[in-house]
């Protein structure tokens, strides 16, 4: 289990990686100003930094934590956030990133068919048991009734939860 580099609290769900210092943080210390980030902008004035340039730079190397953060501050719509997380799940081989995507889907707290389908696909087709187990856990929490048939099928197929 990961720990926040700043407060050393265990990170139970989604860890945030700072783009500037590269360290992992809890949700409380995810922003550079909240963890006394050592990164220094090479600029005489913050006015020299255009907001659009900053967002453009950040979109080139988004992490799961960034996507969730932009949703929470309303920079990304729910639809865009879900699409990006789905893209990460489908195009990433890193198990930790996939599990983080699943936790982010849970944290969105949007109980819609798209999220159910994404989680269902993880259970049915992902190769990693860690990813499958994370998806099953979130399905049980977000969709307790709707996921019963899927979980019954999964258990009957001889797979372990």
pLDDT in tens, the chain (161 residues): 688 888 989 888 787 877 777 788 888 888 887 887 766 444 344 444 444 444 444 445 678 888 888 888 888 888 888 988 888 888 888 899 899 999 999 998 888 899 999 999 998 888 899 999 999 999 999 998 988 888 888 777 765 54
The rounded distance, in Å, linking the Cα atoms of 99 and 102 is 5
Q: Where are the alpha helices (DSSP H) in 34-108?
A: 51-60, 64-72, 78-91, 95-108
Instruction: Look up residue 57 and give its two tokens.
Output: 């730079």
The rounded distance, in Å, linking the Cα atoms of 113 and 72 is 21
Q: pTM for this structure?
A: 0.60
- Residue 61 sits at the vertex; the CA angle it makes with 58 and 67, to the nearest 5 degrees, is 70
């Amino acid at each position: 289990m990961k720990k926040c580099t700043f407060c050393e609290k265990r990170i139970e769900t989604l860890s945030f990686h700072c783009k500037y210092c590269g360290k992992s943080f809890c949700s409380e210390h995810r922003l550079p100003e909240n963890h006394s980030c050592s990164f220094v902008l090479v600029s005489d004035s913050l006015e020299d930094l255009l907001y659009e340039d900053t967002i453009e730079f950040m979109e080139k190397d988004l992490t799961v934590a960034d996507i969730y953060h932009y949703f929470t501050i309303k920079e990304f719509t729910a639809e865009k956030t879900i699409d990006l997380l789905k893209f990460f799940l489908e195009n990433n081989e890193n198990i930790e990133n996939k599990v983080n995507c699943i936790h982010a889907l849970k944290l969105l707290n949007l109980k819609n068919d798209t999220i159910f389908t994404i989680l269902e696909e993880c259970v049915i087709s992902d190769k990693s048991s860690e990813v499958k187990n994370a998806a099953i856990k979130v399905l049980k929490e977000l969709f307790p009734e709707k996921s019963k048939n899927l979980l019954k099928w999964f258990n009957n197929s001889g797979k372990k939860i």
